[in-house]
């Protein structure tokens, strides 16, 4: 029994791994990451081998979820770099400039709670608007309007700060 299970898994791997890795490669645009995702999908399948009715579907759904996680991680990294760049632009003169020109973090903290909470949840905790809506007990449209208002306030304050440093 165990021998036939291993043989079936080995045959499935030989038949599907190249296609799955290629599909992942097109989605993540990186060979190493694509192979990591495809390998992880097979590892998860192997852990549930006896309970998975449709291994092919399981592999692709698992790989799609792993790709989505990869994209989210990249987006979080991109946002962090953007925030760091924005903060550096606000304080070009080093530590002394921070007192005259507050960092983005301090600007966000200075927002009224009604605007600050959605900004922190959506941009800093990477939560979708729907989830922010549920957590704050506000309608999605209200959350979107609050995010827009907060961004406008931050943008105006940053412009003023940057104008004062010139």
Neighbour-count burial for 47-58, b at 16+ CB within 10 Å, e otherwise: eeeeebeebeeb
DSSP 120: I
152-to-67, 107, 119, 130, 146 alpha-carbon distances in Å? 33, 12, 12, 21, 10
DSSP state of 111: S
pLDDT, tens digit, for every residue of 64-97? 889 988 888 888 877 777 776 665 555 444 444 3
How buried is residue 59: exposed, middle or buried, by Cβ count under 10 Å (0-12/13-18/19+)?
A: buried
Does residue 140 carry a pLDDT above 50?
yes
Residue of higher predicted confidence among 162 and 19: 19
Residue 42: which pLDDT band, with cuts at 50, 70 and 90? very high
The confidence score (pLDDT) of residue 149 equals: 93
| Cα 55 to Cα 90: distance, rounded to the nearest angstrom | 52
Write out the two tokens for 78: 């991109």
Nearest to 86 by CA among 162, 24, 32: 162
pLDDT, mean of residues 131-157: 89
Higher pLDDT, 42 or 161: 42
Q: What is the pLDDT of residue 113?
A: 80
pLDDT in tens, 45-57: 999 988 998 898 8
């Amino acid at each position: 029994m165990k021998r036939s299970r291993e043989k079936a898994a080995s045959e499935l791997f030989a038949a599907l791994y190249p296609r799955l890795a290629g599909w992942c490669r097109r989605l993540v645009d990186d060979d190493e990451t694509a192979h990591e995702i495809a390998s992880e999908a097979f590892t998860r399948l192997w852990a549930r081998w006896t309970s998975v009715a449709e291994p092919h579907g399981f592999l692709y759904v698992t790989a799609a979820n792993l790709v989505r996680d990869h994209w989210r991680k990249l987006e979080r990294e991109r946002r962090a770099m953007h925030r760091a760049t924005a903060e550096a632009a606000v304080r070009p003169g080093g530590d002394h400039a921070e007192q005259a020109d507050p960092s983005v973090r301090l600007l966000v903290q200075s927002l009224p709670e009604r605007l600050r909470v959605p900004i922190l949840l959506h941009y800093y905790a990477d939560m979708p608007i729907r989830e922010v809506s549920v957590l704050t007990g506000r309608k999605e449209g209200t959350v979107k309007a609050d995010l827009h208002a907060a961004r406008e306030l931050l943008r105006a304050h940053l412009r003023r700060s940057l104008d004062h440093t010139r």
